[in-house]
A = this chain, B = another copy of it.
């Protein structure tokens, strides 16, 4: 493609410029953006982000300009180069784990060291003993070993008990034989395994004397440390392209009777005694269990920010983009209307904007709950209240707090990640045709985030655990047990009041709005209990009800957390900003309520008339009241342009200039000249496509 001609360079977008439109929008509101950002992220967090952004932007390897164009192999190789450089920078600048996380957030792509750092090191640390720390953890921390966490298999996802890979104890030479008996036993989807790792924590069925003791973790070297070739009797590779996440080398792994020494089995919680050949039972399985709960809590915490990227992009673009005149505008008003003025756009974007804050505050609340629980858990770790071998419906009886936290984290993980996924796609479509361009920045981000709805517990599977917990709580309450936590409190209240009915003033009182959500979740709980315990319905026939129940409970938790955040003394916010946050709370709650109207009717939490009023008056009025503040509210999420990497979401509103620049100047396809006629070769000989490809 030739140089851009002068007459093209001279062109500007027509009408009011994007920068003018955004400035105009920002002038409509007097929310103090910096104050709100500080409230969300703390001063320290914001400064950390600035400091690290400065460092990254100076490094050529982190240049993003070819990200949307490059193919799989190049993207992977670039991601690997970035991971290496990041590891060097961490050393050079003495970065903490938090610093590194911020750097990864800013880079915003999964990298080949991801599972080494996120799972391998942590598993070794938490599940290895001192000897294993010395042998495995130290070289891993020094990046001489690069590891991954190999659990799921080609034929086995969520159900860990169904794993086929075996680790058979050999008393004669005190080794384990790791083996893949079938094709479906192949480890699959394992991040960082495909091309990068030379070690793996392999989850395998431990077999002693012909008896299976369930899945346990084994550290196995899989590639040569010098040549990086697979070791004998190991077959390993990348599983191929995915909908997103293509900068990561998710891999497969098969073992053909591979022997590993006794030290390979991570032995902090359970082990094989080499003298007696006996299995030593785990000290406390609930500690392991806690890790998953923690991972889910962070997913809830992140979901607000994940969604906020899409909302930021779509809201800014909706203020720049203009289309059609207002039908009710006078004839002489020629200009096209900003898209953000259309109620069909507002009804999609503004409730999502409210959701970003709702999820953020809920995430914060969850983290606090987790921290509080950590103490209690380590206190009870030695009390031996675990019940091995009990069915899953009963395993939660150990600690009330653990069970409550676990159930809450399952339901919230499912709701939060589904909400972020669906919200991002809604943001993308709200951008109209340009939302489909990679330059929108939403599509690639959505595609990379999507697996969150499946991993760490499939969003459908998880809801069973929530239901199981709620049913159990309801049984306790029915037996007259005193409320010991929030769940049993709302269930008890419902039980006492159900014959008098509810009279929640959802349009007049914020606390009544929260109560209406509690009432509906309680109603669904007792209804499900009746189906299961009285009508003896099959568990499988109730899964759909359980899904709805879990969703209802999680929505209640979110509404409650949002409400309580605003009730707490929030002197950090001006009264003006606080007032807008209250409106966002009401918008989130009422919009959710009217979207789920049918359950609110059925439970008699509200009347049909209240829902109608919520829909036609309250929500529509809130849209009008919040709309002038939309730009500043997304600004408060404080995403640097470099992080968003979006033409449509540019903070300065130069949407069209940026779209054009990327298409005309960065796009390598424009360097290829094709021959368009059917009876001719594809390319003209004089173009540089072949050489181009070796560069890309």
Contact = CB atoms under 8 A, between A and B. Distances in A.
Contacts of A455: 433
A280 interface: no
A666 B239 CA distance: 10
Given A157-B432, A189-B433, A436-B243, A254 B8 contact: yes
Contacts of A608: 601-602
Q: Name which of A11, A112, A227 has the most chain B CB atoms within 10 A of its CB.
A: A11
Contact of A252 (B183, B347, B598, B664): B664
Contact of A71 (B72, B322, B425, B542): B72
A659 B152 CA distance: 15
Contacts of A245: 436
A295 interface: no
Interface stretch (A28-36, A52-60, A195-203, A568-576): A195-203
A106 to B, nearest CB: 19
A237 B254 CA distance: 47
Contact of A437 (B242, B660, B676): B242
A194 interface: yes
A176 to B, nearest CB: 19
Given A538-B328, A662-B240, A13 B155 contact: yes
A195 B669 contact: yes
Interface in A651-666: 656-657, 659-660, 662-664, 666
Contacts of A438: 240-243
Given A158-B323, A676-B228, A73 B433 contact: no
Closest 3 CB pairs of A and B: A71-B71, A597-B598, A14-B182
Contacts of A544: 343-344, 347, 620
15 contacts: A12-B183, A14-B185, A69-B72, A71-B72, A80-B682, A112-B674, A159-B323, A189-B433, A195-B670, A238-B667, A252-B663, A327-B392, A327-B540, A347-B544, A436-B454
Contacts of A404: none
Interface stretch (A363-371, A515-523, A683-691): A683-691
Q: Name which of A155, A227, A541, A666 has the most chain B CB atoms within 10 A of its CB.
A: A155
Nearest to A70: B71
Interface in A141-164: 143-144, 146, 152, 154-159, 162, 164
By size class, the interface of chain A is: 35 or more
Contacts of A70: 71
A157 B611 CA distance: 36
Contacts of A498: none
Contacts of A69: 72, 240-241
Contact of A684 (B144, B228, B393): B228
A541 B616 CA distance: 10
A5 B235 contact: yes
A15 B155 CA distance: 10
B14 A181 contact: yes
A84 B162 contact: no
Contacts of A674: 77, 80, 112, 195-196, 228
Contacts of A673: 195, 228-229
A158 B339 CA distance: 12
A679 interface: yes
A450 B154 CA distance: 29
A239 to B, nearest CB: 5
Interface string A535-558: 000111111110100000000000
Contacts of A620: 541, 544
Contacts of A227: 684
A50 B4 CA distance: 49
Contacts of A670: 194-195, 237-238
A336 interface: yes
Interface string A393-412: 10000000000000000000
B601 A612 contact: no
A673 to B, nearest CB: 6
Q: Name which of A112, A240, A455 has the most chain B CB atoms within 10 A of its CB.
A: A240
Nearest to A439: B240
A87 B155 contact: no
A345 to B, nearest CB: 8
Interface string A471-488: 000000000000000000
Contacts of A450: 436
A73 B672 contact: yes
A77 B672 CA distance: 10
B429 A453 contact: yes
Contacts of A666: 240
A332 interface: no
A159 B540 contact: no
A669 B71 contact: no
Contacts of A594: 598
A241 B72 CA distance: 13
B74 A182 contact: no
Nearest to A443: B243
Nearest to A80: B682
B344 A543 contact: yes
B682 A343 contact: no
Q: Name which of A438, A669, A679 has the most chain B CB atoms within 10 A of its CB.
A: A669
A73 B672 CA distance: 9
Interface in A177-199: 180-186, 188-189, 194-198
A88 B678 contact: yes
A454 B433 contact: yes
